[in-house]
Amino acid sequence: MVPFYFGASSHQLFGVYHPGVGGTRKGAVICSPCGQEYLRAQRAIRFLASRISETGGHVLRFDWYGTGDSAGSVFEGSGPESWLEDLDVAVEELKAMANLRKVSLVGLRLGALPAIQMAQERRGIDRLVLWDPVLDGAGYVDELLAHSQARSLTGSADLPEQLQGESVHEVLGFPITPAIRKGMESFTPASLGKRLPPTLLLSTASDPERYAPVRTALDASGTDWTEERFDGPEAWVEEDDFGTSGMPVEALRRVAAWLGS
């Protein structure tokens, strides 16, 4: 593993590079979820990166601007639009580091949004993994705001000047600004209307039928896709109040094998 900072000096991102064993010309960028789901899924994301590396793929996992160890305040990230810009920088960084022409993308939960957008809008994306993706953005926002620990920050002195007077909520320590909320709510399964590169839909959720609209959209787009279903655990869900989640080992091994095939 090689931890490092990359990107413009005014917009530094923190990443961890896992070089591929065997010197293959395959690589993957992992797009993490946000908020508490990001914290809970870290162990599984590290395992996946290591597994892909062991099977020959070069991997870059990174923190979105304003989150984790990247620069910027948690209030500065502007949601999916900003995430797409961060992902663009990360993809180019991995290509340069490992001398790759193409890379694959792995989007977990909300991280699937920028992964899908990049796969649709940019060349050079080899494969796409949608790992328990959040594609009903409005429904997801409603779930967050209905959380027992959600609270309004509107009018709080803790808000930066540019957000004073705006409607801002906090869920388990992570803010939902108007920009982030708008970006999330704009995304639906219909956003999959464009053809994607070969795609793996990975489901570890307790209710895999929630992805029925995703399957329909993938079929309608003409995408070459496949699905793998596993009976948990869900990497983003806290187990027994330990602050971490379970590890879907077999599911992540399958992802690494599919990316390397």
Q: How confident is the model at residue 240, as a pLDDT?
A: 59
> Strand 225-229 and strand 199-203: pairing?
parallel
Q: How confident is the model at residue 166, as a pLDDT?
A: 74
SS (H, E, C) the chain: CEEEEECCCCCCEEEEEECCCCCCCCEEEEECCCHHHHHHHHHHHHHHHHHHHHCCCEEEEECCCCCCCCCCCCCCCCCHHHHHHHHHHHHHHHHHHHCCCCEEEEEEHHHHHHHHHHHHHCCCEEEEEEECCCCCHHHHHHHHHCCCCCEECCCCCCCCHHHCCCCCEEECCEEECHHHHHHHHCCCHHHHHCCCCCEEEEECCCCHHHHHHHHHHHHHHCCCEEEEECCCCCCCCECCCCCCECCCHHHHHHHHHHHHC
Q: How confident is the model at residue 207, as a pLDDT?
A: 85
The pLDDT tens digits along the chain (261 residues) read: 899 999 999 999 999 999 999 867 899 999 999 888 898 999 999 999 999 999 999 999 999 998 889 998 777 766 777 899 999 999 999 999 999 999 999 999 999 999 999 999 888 899 999 999 998 989 988 988 888 678 887 777 777 776 776 787 888 778 888 888 888 888 888 888 899 999 999 999 888 888 999 999 999 999 999 999 999 888 888 765 555 567 899 999 999 999 998
Q: How confident is the model at residue 242, as a pLDDT?
A: 52
Instruction: Locate the domains of the chain by residue range.
Output: 2-135+188-260, 137-186
d(CA 73, CA 113): 21
d(CA 105, CA 45): 13
Q: Which of 75, 116, 124, 95 is nearest to 25 (CA)?
A: 95
| Domain 2-135+188-260: CATH class, spelled out | alpha beta
Q: How confident is the model at residue 241, as a pLDDT?
A: 54
Q: How confident is the model at residue 201, as a pLDDT?
A: 97
Q: How confident is the model at residue 69, as a pLDDT?
A: 92
d(CA 223, CA 246): 31
Q: How confident is the model at residue 152, as a pLDDT?
A: 83
